[in-house]
Amino acid sequence: NLLLRGNRIVMPVTLQKQILNLAHESHQGIVRTKKFLRERFFWYYMDEQID
């Protein structure tokens, strides 16, 4: 089961680091990485964790 906020997946704390690592591996830069993650996922303080 997934918890959604609008059309974004609410990411549990236990998986946030893993998602950040996968997004970072794409080497798209900070702006594109934030955009990619914001469009698909939600968690509090996401931007601070990406920076």
Chain mean position to CA 30? 12
pLDDT value of position 50: 86
pLDDT value of position 51: 79
pLDDT value of position 46: 95
pLDDT value of position 43: 97
Here the tokens at position 12 are: 């549990």
Question: In which residue ranges of the chain is pLDDT below 70?
Answer: none
What is the pTM for the complete model shown?
A: 0.85
**CA pseudo-torsion sign 19, 20, 25, 31:** positive
Q: Looking at the 3D structure of the chain, how many domains does it have?
A: 1
14 in Cβ contact with 1 (< 8 Å): no
State which residues form the domain around 30.
4-50
First to last CA, the chain: 29
